[in-house]
Structure 1
Amino acid sequence: MAEHPELVAEMPAVARLSTPERLKHAQKRRAQQLKKWAQAEKEPQGSKVGADRKKRRRKSDGNTKRVTFPASVQLLEAAARHDAEEVRHFLASGISPDLCNEDGLTALHQCCIDDAGAVVPVLLDAGADVNARDSELWTPLHAAATCGHLRLVQLLIQRGADLLATNSDGNMPYDLCEDEVTLDCLESAMAEQGITQEKIEEARGATEREMMVEIRQLVEAGADLDVPRGHGATLLHIAAANGYMEAAELLLEHRASIGSRDEDGWQPLHAAACWGQVQLVELLVAHGADLNGKSVLDETPLDVCGDEEVRAKLLELKHKHEAVMRSHHRHKSLLQRRTSSTGSRGKVVRRVSVSERSSLYRREHEREAIVWQRAARRDSADDDDDHQTDAELQHRAATDPPASSPPRNGSALCAHGPGTGATVHPVPDPAPRHHLPATLPDLKRHRAATKLQHPPGGDPAAPIGGGDTGGTGVTGGAGDGTGEPPLLKLTAPAEEPPAQKQRCCKVM
């Protein structure tokens, strides 16, 4: 038998072996251990030690305690030794063939693992459950198929083993079988029983459907979905570990806690990462699962993940989450800086804006005044307020009797009375010629002043008369019945001729 250091040294090599090879290696080590123990018992030193123990027992006062084992342990130990007679003796004494250890392992499971072909019929004849399940829902057929024990697989199928039984990972016996001959036997049996792909998929989803029925019942009753179950795991832990996508979505829809922890401090994301459920990992992260959450042993979901695909997905999601958080922090700090600077900078911005608006208004007024000046030059083409052209006004001025004195530039003419003789009231210019208005506001004020100085009792039907008065001043109204003062038109000032060049020397 190998010593402990030797066993520790060969652990990496054993981990690389397939499941059947590991089982064979374990059986070989167990056989070596039993052989060494038998040799030790046969040695004289061993018998001497046994005699000394008997002598000490005789010298004692008789209050010694005998070591006893439970019936399940005795049955499993006898089955592991392939002792069919002792197993038959235990069963005949009334021990149940379905007794199991703390892992749910029965004697039939153990015999299917060890290929104890002589003990399996004894257990089945005694009424052992051919579809008994351990803590991970493995049946004896799972164990025999995994180990590639063809004779035991055939025997279990003849005794009614369920070919569609699924373990906690959702695997059926044929999913775990690596031996080609045994796999052919399983597939042939499935074909004989009429098992199709539809039935296989239905059997795989049976557990999830049962779980969803339970979740809906809890929701209707208003119960807490985060009540811990075995080992402190919640329903979301179970769904995440088994890859139950629909059940997990239903739990998250009804506010199941994504941060609940089991006895080991694992969150549902730990379970999904450990069991390689990529879709559940994405779903939990999308609902806010903590990628850096730590268990009791300070393990993150990335630490407990053994599948390379899931590991790559976790790293990708972690990098995306960190990038989003950095962007959020930058945006938040920028908003804080803007808020802190509002009190000092806002007033300056407002003052500058007011001054800019004032300058803008002033420039607009100047541009409008220039437009008015240019419009006065095109009086011959434009209409007056009464829609009469300059030619019509000149014709009327020729037919009307001349006034005693021509009006001055910038004066207003008002006609009173229905007769042919018109009384003319001169209106003085509101400003001398060298102070004529030059901008639109000044023109408006000039027009308002003219209205105030207009006599209130005029004849609305009498023509105001007058054509173009020349220069900047008043153009007569057209007698439109409103009594409005004449229009004000602004003409551009006379352009001065350019100064003649003066000779600076006799050369020019």
Structure 2
Amino acid sequence: MAEHADLLAEMQAVSRMTTAERLKHAQKRRTQQLKVWAQMEKEASQKDKEKRKSKLKKSQRVVFPDSITLLEAATRNDVEEVQDMVKRGISPDLYNEDGLTALHQCCIDDFEEMVRILLEAGADVNACDSELWTPLHAAATCGHLSLVELLISHGANLLAVNADGNMPYDLCEDEMTLDYIETAMANQGITQEKINECRAAKESQMVADIRALIQAGSDLNTPDGNKASLLHIAAANGYHTTAELLLEQKAKIDLKDCDGWEPLHAASCWGHIHMVELLVANGANLNAKSYMDETPLDVCADDEVRAKLLDLKRKHEAIMKSEERHKSSLQRRASSAGSRGKVVRRVSVNERSSLYRREHQKEAIVWQERGQEVELQDDDEDKQTDAELKQHTTLSSANESHGNQVDPMQESLFSKSETIVGNGSASSSSLPGEPRGSKLDRSASYQMATGEQEDTVGSDLSKEVSHHTLADLKRQRAAAKLHKQSPLSAGEDLSQISLETGRSNTESTVYCTPASGDPPLLKLIAPEDDPPPEKNRCCSLM
């Protein structure tokens, strides 16, 4: 194809050509142009083909990691390929995303020859997957006796504990295989104490680490790479002691990991029923949802744990309902109490007075019933007092005849009579302001003034008068309680009671001390309404 400069140089020559010559020249140039374009298209198509071929070659070649290739060859029991890979230096301990090695897989599938090749190549006989299962766990669970013998002969750990806390013999259900494992454990001198120690070794180590963090003042809620806290790990593994220690240190029970799981989700998923009870008792939410809207009940696959979760959920709902009912009843009581207070404040003075009267009437009835009971008791006391007074007067006369000499026996009788009199009506001790005199003077604490009270009362009371005085005083006191006497004024120190005796027509005034019993029912008088204020005249015109 001609260049632009060449076309400009040919313009003068073309201008001198005839019309027929110019047409031929244009056709020639057009043919040359088409040839150049065709060549260019051919070259472009060849380049595209080469690119496509190179892309096809690259896309058709698939390369897998050595771990997948080795595990796949072991699963197919391809002995030659496995041997070839081992010869090329590929490690026999390669594992997939679940931590499963080729030795695990061959123990599950019972490929004894492949197991021998891997063990000879240096495979780890105690390799653990993500759930801490060893090849011996897998062989014992499947009941492959020959593989169990082969693994034990190569040093398999009989006390290896998986994530569920199980050893190989815990998972074995085949009797012959179990007998062989137990025999091997006995030959190695394994005791029950050692078994228990191995089971608790990991939890003990975790507890020791947590105590070290506590002493250092570290935060126990710090999450790991998957946002799982220490309580998540303890709940997933069923470490009850570790969880108790964390909860005592106020570890958060509602933290979420990368999947939105709380510790209760982990305990429910792995079927740790005691851990579920512990977490719920410390306030774990049974309705907590993960990022996939899963509750602990949704992720639980164990029937026993599921039943426990349902039971705890029912109990929790029942407790919440009872608390709501209690709160509502308290609110109703508070509102009703407030309304009652408002009603009482609006009651008039007359209504309050009538209310007081009714209350005092009820109280008077109670006091009357009590007075009847006291009267019956006083009758019995009167009989006892009469006998004591007779004995008292006899002793006093004997003392006078013997020059007021009292022997110890008589003193005991005096003290006894004083005590009885004090229990019946008056105190055994002297009244305030009274000098301590003889026992006879203190026993006669009640005195009666006759109609001739203006005269000087003699200190020596006759026996009959003292006897009737004490008996009559008790009857008077009982009568006062039954409203037989007029009410007394509350300001007097000594109450005066008028009494008509059946034996004489003379009126006697009786004085009772504070020890003579309860006063008449003064407080039963109803309050009276205030009288209306009197209108005083302010001037003479009114």
Tell me the secondary structure at the aligned position of residue 202 of structure 2: helix
Alignment of 1:332-351 (within 5 A): 332-346=327-341
Alignment of 1:223-302 (within 5 A): 223-229=218-224, 231-302=226-297
Q: Which of 99, 102, 105 is the aligned partner of 1:104?
A: 99
Residue 444, structure 1, aligned to residue 488, structure 2? yes
Tell me the secondary structure at the aligned position of residue 64 of structure 1: helix
CA shift, 1:272, in A, is 2.2
CA distance in 1, matches of 2:55, 2:181: 62
Question: Deviation per CA, 1:341-365, whole angstroms, max 9, x where unpaired?
Answer: 2222135569587454444566689
Q: Which of 130, 151, 154 is the aligned partner of 1:156?
A: 151
Alignment of 1:346-425 (within 5 A): 346=341, 354-360=356-362, 414-415=454-455
1:147 is aligned to 142
Q: Which amino acid aligns with 2:247?
A: L
Q: Which amino acid aligns with 2:454?
A: C
Task: Name whichever of 161-170 and 256-265 sits farther off.
Answer: 256-265
1:423 is aligned to none
In structure 2, the CA distance between the partners of 1:412 and 1:183, relative to structure 1 (3 Å rule), is same
Tell me the secondary structure at the aligned position of residue 303 of structure 1: helix
Residue 217, structure 1, aligned to residue 212, structure 2? yes
Q: Which amino acid aligns with 1:228?
A: P
In structure 2, the CA distance between the partners of 1:364 and 1:228, relative to structure 1 (3 Å rule), is closer
- The TM-score normalised by the length of structure 1 is 0.60
2:58 is aligned to 64
CA distance in 2, matches of 1:211, 1:270: 21
CA distance in 2, matches of 1:185, 1:95: 34
CA shift, 1:369, in A, is 11
Tell me the secondary structure at the aligned position of residue 328 of structure 1: helix
CA shift, 1:332, in A, is 0.8
CA shift, 1:163, in A, is 0.9
Query: Any conservation in 2 of the 1:369–1:439 contact (CA below 8 Å)?
Result: no
Question: Deviation per CA, 1:8-34, whole angstroms, max 9, x where unpaired?
Answer: xxxxxxxxxxxxxxxxxxxxxxxxxxx
Q: Which amino acid aligns with 2:289?
A: K
Query: Any conservation in 2 of the 1:413–1:476 contact (CA below 8 Å)?
Result: no
CA distance in 1, matches of 2:211, 2:230: 12
Gaps of 5+ in 1: 1-54, 372-380, 388-409, 417-436, 452-466, 478-508
Residue 175, structure 1, aligned to residue 209, structure 2? no
1:91 is aligned to 86
Q: Which has the larger radius of gyration?
A: 2
CA distance in 1, matches of 2:252, 2:192: 36
Aligned residues: 363
CA shift, 1:137, in A, is 0.7
Question: Percent of aligned positions with the same letter in both sequences?
Answer: 59
Tell me the secondary structure at the aligned position of residue 69 of structure 1: coil
Q: Which of 290, 315, 319 is the aligned partner of 2:314?
A: 319
Alignment of 1:7-18 (within 5 A): none
CA distance in 1, matches of 2:280, 2:126: 38
1:76 is aligned to 71
Residue 122, structure 1, aligned to residue 95, structure 2? no
RMSD of aligned Cα (Å): 4.4
Query: Any conservation in 2 of the 1:79–1:119 contact (CA below 8 Å)?
Result: yes
CA shift, 1:162, in A, is 0.4
CA distance in 2, matches of 1:153, 1:237: 34
CA distance in 1, matches of 2:491, 2:94: 117
Query: Any conservation in 2 of the 1:365–1:439 contact (CA below 8 Å)?
Result: no
CA distance in 1, matches of 2:489, 2:126: 109
CA shift, 1:113, in A, is 2.2
- The TM-score normalised by the length of structure 2 is 0.57
Query: Any conservation in 2 of the 1:99–1:106 contact (CA below 8 Å)?
Result: yes
In structure 2, the CA distance between the partners of 1:345 and 1:203, relative to structure 1 (3 Å rule), is same
In structure 2, the CA distance between the partners of 1:61 and 1:163, relative to structure 1 (3 Å rule), is closer
